[in-house]
C-alpha cells in the first residue's frame, strides 16, 4: 500500500527550503524525511528533488511512500462499527471489554485485528496507527491514522484533537460546571494505577454535570492526556465512576467502568477543516442512567 500527499506552496513559504516547509506545514518528522528519501519519492512540480530544494509560491509538492502492514498483526473478522473513513483517517466505535492493540498474552481479538480485517476486505494493507487509545473497559470513539503523515500530524500537534467523554459517577459533583486541576503520578503501591500527587504531572479535566441524582451523568473534556485521567480525577473528587473498582467505583450495577468517549473534534490533516464526530451512549450506561431505584451502597 502507498500513500500520496499533495500540497501547494503559499506565499508565506516563498523561497524556503522544501525540508522546512514539510516540517512546519505538514508536521513531518526527521525520521519520516529519511524514510521519504530512501523508501519514497518527493516531487516538486512533477520532478524528483531533494529536501534542500527551494520552493516558490504556487509550486506543487507530491509525496509518495510505500507502506506494508505489520506482519505480527493478524486480520480477524470481528464486529467493527465504522463512524467515519476517508483516504487519511478512520474513526471507529470501540465496544467495552475490548483492548485496542495486541499485548502479551492477548495477540488476538483486539480492535486493531478488526481494523486490519476491515482494510484487507478493501484490498488494502497498511499498519494500524491508533492515535486515541481507550482503556479496555472504556467504550467510544477511536481515531486511527491511515498513513504515516496523518499520524505525524496529530503527534506533532496534539491540540488538533479534542476528546469528550460521558461518565456515570456516584453522587453529584459540585460545582455543576468546573475544572479538576490535580497532578497525576504513578501509584508506587501499584504501578498499574495512578493517583493524585503534588509531585505528579499536570492534569486538567473540564466537566459539566448533565443529570443529577444518586447517579450523575457528567460530560468531561480532557485538557491533558494522562493515563486513567478522568477515572483518577473523579475518584479523587469523591465521585468515582460506577463500575470502576480499581478506583473505588461500585460494580453492583454495571460490570465495567461507565465511561464513554462520545465525541471527537479534530482538524483534518489534509483539508485543515474541523471534523466533529459523535457516538451515542451505549446501552449498558443508558439502562443504568434510566434506573431511578439504584442503591449505590450495594
Residues taking part in catalysis: 135
For strand 161-170 and strand 215-222, is the pairing parallel, antiparallel, or unpaired? antiparallel
* Residue 96 to residue 257: CA distance in whole angstroms: 9
Which residue matches cell numbers 504501578? 191
Q: What is the DSSP letter of 192?
A: T
Residue 56 three-state SS: coil
- 141, 277 in Cβ contact below 8 A? yes
Beta strands in the chain (DSSP E): 2-8, 40-44, 47-48, 60-66, 81-85, 89-94, 129-130, 139-145, 161-170, 177-181, 184-186, 194-196, 204-211, 215-222, 259-267, 274-278
Which residue matches cell numbers 477515572? 231
* Residue 112 to residue 52: CA distance in whole angstroms: 37
In degrees and rounded to multiples of 5, residue 57 shows phi and psi of -55, 130
- 249, 194 in Cβ contact below 8 A? no
* Residue 60 to residue 45: CA distance in whole angstroms: 5
- 111, 99 in Cβ contact below 8 A? yes
Residue 275 three-state SS: strand
Amino acid at each position: 500500500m502507498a500513500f500520496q500527499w499533495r500540497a501547494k506552496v503559499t506565499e508565506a513559504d516563498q523561497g524556503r527550503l522544501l525540508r522546512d516547509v514539510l516540517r512546519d506545514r505538514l508536521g513531518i518528522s526527521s525520521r519520516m524525511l529519511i524514510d521519504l528519501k530512501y523508501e519514497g519519492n518527493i516531487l516538486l512540480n512533477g520532478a524528483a528533488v531533494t529536501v534542500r530544494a527551494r520552493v516558490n509560491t504556487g509550486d506543487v509538492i507530491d509525496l509518495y511512500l510505500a507502506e506494508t502492514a505489520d506482519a505480527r498483526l493478524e486480520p480477524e473478522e470481528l464486529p467493527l462499527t465504522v463512524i467515519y473513513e476517508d483516504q487519511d483517517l478512520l474513526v471507529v466505535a470501540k465496544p467495552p471489554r475490548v483492548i485496542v492493540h495486541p499485548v502479551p498474552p492477548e495477540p488476538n481479538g483486539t480492535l486493531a485485528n478488526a481494523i486490519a480485517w476491515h482494510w484487507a476486505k478493501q484490498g488494502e494493507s497498511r499498519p494500524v496507527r491508533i492515535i486515541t487509545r481507550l482503556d479496555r473497559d472504556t467504550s467510544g470513539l477511536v481515531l486511527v491514522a491511515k498513513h504515516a503523515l496523518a499520524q505525524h500530524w496529530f503527534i506533532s500537534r496534539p491540540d488538533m484533537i479534542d476528546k469528550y467523554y460521558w461518565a456515570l459517577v456516584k453522587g453529584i459533583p459540585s460545582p455543576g460546571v468546573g475544572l479538576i486541576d490535580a497532578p497525576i503520578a504513578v501509584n508506587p503501591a501499584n504501578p498499574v494505577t495512578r493517583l493524585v500527587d503534588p509531585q505528579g504531572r499536570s492534569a486538567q479535566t473540564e466537566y459539566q454535570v448533565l443529570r443529577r441524582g444518586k447517579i450523575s451523568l457528567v460530560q468531561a473534556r480532557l485538557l491533558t492526556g494522562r493515563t486513567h485521567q478522568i477515572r483518577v480525577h473523579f475518584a479523587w473528587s469523591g465521585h468515582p465512576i460506577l463500575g470502576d473498582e480499581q478506583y473505588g467505583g461500585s460494580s453492583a450495577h454495571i460490570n465495567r467502568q461507565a465511561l464513554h468517549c462520545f465525541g471527537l473534534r479534530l482538524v483534518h490533516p489534509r483539508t485543515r477543516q474541523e471534523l466533529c464526530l459523535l457516538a451515542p451512549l451505549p446501552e449498558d450506561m443508558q439502562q443504568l442512567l434510566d434506573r431511578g431505584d439504584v442503591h449505590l451502597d450495594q
